Amino acid sequence: MAGNTPKGQTPSQTVGPYFAYGLTPEQYNYPLASIAHGHTVDDETEGERIRIVGRVFDGADKPIGDAMIEIWQADAQGRYAHPADPNRPNAAFTGFARTGTGTDPQNRFVFDTIKPGGRDGQAPHVNVIVMMRGLLTHAYTRIYFADEEAANAADPVLAGVPADRRDTLLAKREETSYGTVYRFDIRMQGDSETVFFAV
């Protein structure tokens, strides 16, 4: 028997306000195992430990407390944990993390990860997928590292970004009592709207 027999891409729909117990249950203390957490690393992972911290702001400059952020990145040697990459990452590195902005008092997202290596002429970067209530289709962006000036200057993706908007993709490095923290805020709208890519 025929199903809904789609003739093209299934349309995206918003993740809505109630994704947490399905997609990030452990973070929000719901009784279901999570497939992913706010970290890509364990004790065995090689590479420079970093923490990426930021908030998501709406067009009224208010931090958003019901966004979900996913990251996907290479390991410290620029290798992806995926069959399409002939190089293999070091053990126990999945390259993927997911977190909601609803459990931090300031609505921050926090990722504990490693600084990725560059690859194929691209500067080190973290791929980001943004979802939230009010976003009918997810948005893609990238986190680059402000202290990688030479690599960023040679990056072909950044080269395609209007010069006056590149700053929105640069995470700023801070040394804190925790260790190395990169600050990266996401602005959905406004003069300094984050660059979102046509992935």
Enumerate residues 161-190 that contact other proteins by CB under 8 A: 161-162, 165, 188-189
Around Cβ 128, how many Cβ atoms within 10 Å? 25
| Residue 156 interacts with other proteins (CB under 8 A): yes or no | yes
Binding mask 72-111 for other proteins (x = CB under 8 A): x-x-----xxxxxx--------xxx---------------
**Interacting residues of 1 by C-beta distance below 8 A, sequence separation 6+:** none
| DSSP-assigned letters across all residues of the chain | ---S--SSPPPP----TT-HHHHSTTTTT-SS--S--SBS--TT--S-EEEEEEEEE-TTSPBPSSEEEEEEE--TTS--SSTT-SS-PPTT---EEEEESSSSTT-EEEEEEEPPPPBTTBPSEEEEEEEETT-SS-EEEEEEETT-HHHHHT-HHHHTS-GGGGGGGEEEEEE-SSSEEEE--EESSSTTPPP-B--
38-57 footprint of other proteins as x/- string (CB under 8 A): --------------------
Which of residues 163 and 176 has its CB atom nearest to other proteins in the complex? 163
Which C-beta is closer to other proteins: that of 31 or that of 105? Answer: 31
Please give the size of the binding site for other proteins, defined by CB under 8 A.
Answer: 80
Subset of 1-40 contacting other proteins (CB under 8 A) = 1-23, 25, 28, 30-33, 35-36
If one asks whether residue 150 binds other proteins (CB under 8 A), the answer comes out as no
Contact flag: residue 153 with other proteins (CB under 8 A): no
Q: Which is nearer to other proteins, 92 or 199 (CB)?
A: 199
**Stretch of 104-112, 123-131, 144-152, 174-182 contacting other proteins, by CB under 8 A:** 123-131
Of residues 37, 88, 138, 183, which one binds other proteins by CB under 8 A?
138
Q: Is 84 or 150 the residue whose CB approaches other proteins more closely?
A: 84
Measured from the CB of residue 178, what is the shortest distance to other proteins in angstroms?
26
For residue 198, the tally of other CB atoms under 10 A from its CB is 4
Identity at 89, one-letter amino acid code: P
